[in-house]
Amino acid sequence: MRRCCVVLPAYCEARPLATLLPALFAQQARLADCELWALVVDDGSPDGTALVVEELIAAHPRLRLLEGAKRGLGDAYQRGFAHARASLAPELLVQMDADWQHDPAALPELIAACRPPVDIVIGSRFAPGGATPAFSARRRATSRLGSRLLHEWAGLPRLADYTSGFRCLRAELAWQLVERCRQDGLARRGYAFQSSLIAEALLGGAQVIEIPIVFGARRHGQSKLGAGDYWEFARNLGRLRRRARAQLPAQ
Ligand SMILES: Nc1nc2c(ncn2[C@@H]2O[C@H](COP(=O)(O)OP(=O)(O)OP(=O)(O)O)[C@@H](O)[C@H]2O)c(=O)[nH]1
Ligand SMILES: [Mg+2]
């Protein structure tokens, strides 16, 4: 039986989490060889996110809550990964949003695909069959542009969706990737953490595959993606380009 910990960073996601977490644990019935755990990383949300999670823990003993200071999405993930390692030592980690845009019904497929030789399975919004029905044309174009720049300008391997937040990773590799991002000075604090992690994986020769997902509408609350995150991504592009040039054979 493999142990899988779904890490959900959540800032002011009390309402969506109240229904998302039970729906997530309902997927256990479809996972024969995998023990599903969930870790919510809340950064002192003023809307009572932590209270909602604490109440749900009574009904879901494999649910955990980690609280800390708000320093960005990547920072929350790094704390979540480290906590999962120390307290649960799972074989697999899943990254997932807490606002229902990632459908828990896709978890069994993501998890099943993450076995040797595959190291990381990306739930991809832009692979054939994927969709972003709630996105404006501008938001869709911006997200697609990010992955194109990483390939065409920075010189990383082609992927349809570097910035997706729904992935399953071999946990041992995920912990190593966080450390390599740190050593290489790649962006880790905000949303750019997502593309830094996948870039390090590919530069290190990991097997990364994409399976299509539908990225639905946010249920309740507001987006936390801000202008600062776009700047962080742009600055990171230059670092990734230098890393890719040093590491990958000239094409
Ligand atoms: N703990 C923590 N969670 C965060 C932080 N920033 C974002 N999140 C969570 O990360 C997930 C993704 O953030 P979103 O704002 O939904 O980003 P997005 O899905 O790209 O944007 P929308 O499509 O507008 O929702 C959500 O569950 C957020 O609550 C943070 O600083 N700390
Ligand atoms: Mg969202």
| pLDDT higher than threshold 90 for residue 111 | yes
Element of type H or E holding 202: helix 192-203
Which residues have their alpha-adjacent CB atom under 5 A from ion ligand 2? 97, 99, 101, 218
Average pLDDT over residues 71-89: 97
- Name the one residue in this structure whose structure tokens are 């830094």: 196
Q: 37-51, 196-210, 218-232 — which is least confidently predicted?
A: 218-232
Q: What is the CATH number of the domain that holds 7?
A: 3.90.550.10
Distance CA 211, CA 34 (A): 19
User: Which tens digits make up the pLDDT trace of 146-196?
Assistant: 999 999 999 999 999 999 999 999 999 999 999 999 999 999 999 999 999
CA of 229 to the centre of ligand 2 (A): 14
Confidence of residue 249 (pLDDT cuts 50, 70, 90): low
| pLDDT higher than threshold 90 for residue 223 | no
Q: At what angle do helices 171-183 and 73-87 cross, to 10 degrees?
A: 130
**121 φ/ψ angles, rounded to the nearest 5 degrees:** -115, 120
| Smallest-distance ligand from the CA of 189 | 1
* Domain count across the chain: 1
Percent of the chain with pLDDT over 90: 93
Distance CA 83, CA 30 (A): 26
- Name the pairing type of β-strands 92-95 and 167-170: antiparallel
Domain that holds residue 138: 2-247
